[in-house]
Amino acid sequence: MKRIFLGVTGASGAAYAAAALQALTAAGCDVGLCVSRAGAHVISHELLLAGREAPKDPDGVIREFASRYAGGPGTVTILGLEDLTAPFASGSSLAPAALICPCSGSTLAAIAHGTARNLIHRCGDVMLKERRTLVLMTRETPLSLIHIENMAAVTRAGAIVMPASPGFYNIPTRVEQIVDFMVGKALDHLGVPHELLARWGEDGQMIPAASDTERGA
């Protein structure tokens, strides 16, 4: 079973995190899930309560998020944001890859500058120092020069910066297809198999992704 760290921070786009957790566990990954306080706020606002109420307590939000979106045959372990005793905090754990999705400008900056003040930052730090796969699905627009320079810094250090910037050449008709496009690209870089997106030019035509059929599209 492939061990993957999934960090969720306080950028808009909690739907990307939900689809990533769903796809990683569906692919049989053993997911270590760590959500920042702002990440829990955004999950609560965008997904669980859909803007209807003030956010609930962060730990409850994270548990509800995990139980709603994690499925078999993989597993999910919720990791505390301050838990630097978690295996992902050390290069001695052999976790091959981490995805931070969505990745805020704040977390991007922390990884770019190696400040490692929480488990998400530290796991990013570890992936870079161990030359393992780190995918950052950033979300902010427009970008300041600070964002751009931080993206350049982490790219030079080996990270894959993947702005949440979905393509439309698959002619999506539903939000889920747009979300799946981004998550599918991230899973490609993590080396996790999936059927989230139709691949350009395969069989000479664009075909709907398997997930569309399952969802009755």
Ligand X SMILES: Cc1cc2nc3c(=O)[nH]c(=O)nc-3n(C[C@H](O)[C@H](O)[C@H](O)COP(=O)(O)O)c2cc1C
Residues that bind ligand X (CB under 6 A): 9-12, 36, 38-39, 41-42, 45, 104-107, 139-140
CB of 101 to ligand X, least distance (A): 12
Q: Which residue is nearest to ligand X (CB)?
A: 10
What is the distance, to the nearest Å, from the Cα of residue 175 to the centroid of all Cα atoms in its chain?
17
Using alpha carbons, select from 205, 193, 164 the residue that is nearest to residue 181: 164
CB of 208 to ligand X, least distance (A): 29
Asked whether the beta carbons of 89 and 130 are under 8 A apart, the reply is no
CB of 72 to ligand X, least distance (A): 28
Residue 61: both structure tokens together: 């939000």
Q: Quick one: 94 or 145, whose CB is closer to ligand X?
A: 145
CB of 10 to ligand X, least distance (A): 3
Asked whether the beta carbons of 20 and 186 are under 8 A apart, the reply is yes
Q: Quick one: 4 or 137, whose CB is closer to ligand X?
A: 137
End-to-end CA distance of the chain: 31
Question: Would you call 37 exposed, middle or buried from its count of C-beta atoms within 10 A (0-12, 13-18, 19+)?
Answer: middle
Q: Quick one: 148 or 207, whose CB is closer to ligand X?
A: 148
C-alpha span between 47 and 53 (Å, rounded) = 12
The single-letter code of the amino acid at 160 is I
CB of 201 to ligand X, least distance (A): 32
Using alpha carbons, select from 25, 193, 178, 162 the residue that is nearest to residue 99: 162
Q: Quick one: 9 or 25, whose CB is closer to ligand X?
A: 9
Q: Quick one: 117 or 199, whose CB is closer to ligand X?
A: 117
